[in-house]
């Protein structure tokens, strides 16, 4: 029986899927944001978030465990040095998926997956709106003045040949 064993296999065998998700996790850690399909991003989130959660506690056992998944010492160093400092007070939800539309070639749903604490545009505090002018109707509150009479326009007649 296969009760409660549903996750996206991404049309790949296990070794290929593990290599794909490890490489995507390394790219996410190094670049903080990657552009991929929605299905891969959702699978990546399930793979990467437990590894990011391990980085909160910097022990040799956690470093070795994360390295066993990623096989990239630069990504592990980046994760345990910089990223762990930013996520120290966060309880979960380290990644954000933003849909960007469909790919032209095969109409696959595309998205960004990014680390939440590294998006500078979304971290800025909301500024209070400036008091600007409000929209006014074209009618003025004054009574309308009578329009000035226009001078009749004389039309030139075509010259007879």
End-to-end Cα, the chain, rounded Å: 101
94, 61, 55: which is closest to 77 by C-alpha? 55
pLDDT bucket at 120, cuts 50 / 70 / 90 = confident
Query: Does the pLDDT of residue 105 top 90, yes or no?
Result: yes
Query: Does the pLDDT of residue 133 top 80, yes or no?
Result: no
Q: Which two tokens stand for residue 42?
A: 């959702």
pLDDT bucket at 123, cuts 50 / 70 / 90 = confident
Digit-coded pLDDT (tens) for 18-67: 999 999 999 999 999 999 999 999 999 999 999 999 999 999 999 999 99
Query: Residue for token digits 């996750």?
Result: 7
Q: Distance between CA 153 and CA 37 in Å, rounded?
A: 66
Average pLDDT over residues 69-81: 96
The alpha carbon of residue 121 and the mean position of all alpha carbons in its chain are separated, in whole angstroms, by 10
Buried/exposed 61-97: b ≥16 CB within 10 Å, e otherwise: ebbeebeebbebeebbebbbeebbeebeeeeeebbbe
DSSP 46-110: HHHHHHHHHTTS--HHHHHHHHHHH--HHHHHHIIIIIHHHTTT--S--EEEEEEEE-TTT--EE
DSSP 44-61: HHHHHHHHHHHTTS--HH
Averaged pLDDT score across all residues of the chain: 88
pLDDT at 47: 97
Query: Residue for token digits 């590294």?
Result: 118
């Amino acid at each position: 029986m296969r009760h409660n064993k549903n996750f996206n296999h991404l049309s790949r065998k296990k070794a290929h899927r593990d290599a794909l998700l490890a490489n995507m996790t390394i790219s996410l850690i190094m670049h903080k944001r990657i552009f991929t399909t929605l299905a891969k991003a959702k699978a990546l989130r399930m793979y990467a978030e437990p590894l990011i959660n391990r980085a909160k506690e910097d022990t040799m056992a956690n470093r070795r465990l994360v390295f066993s998944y990623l096989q990239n010492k630069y990504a592990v160093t980046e994760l345990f040095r910089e990223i762990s400092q930013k996520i120290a007070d966060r309880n979960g939800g380290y990644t954000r998926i933003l849909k960007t539309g469909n790919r032209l070639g095969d109409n696959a749903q595309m998205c960004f997956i990014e680390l939440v604490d590294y998006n500078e545009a979304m971290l800025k505090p909301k500024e209070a709106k400036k008091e600007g002018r409000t929209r006014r109707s074209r009618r003025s509150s004054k009574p309308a003045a009578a329009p000035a009479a226009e001078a009749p326009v004389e039309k030139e007649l075509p010259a007879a040949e």
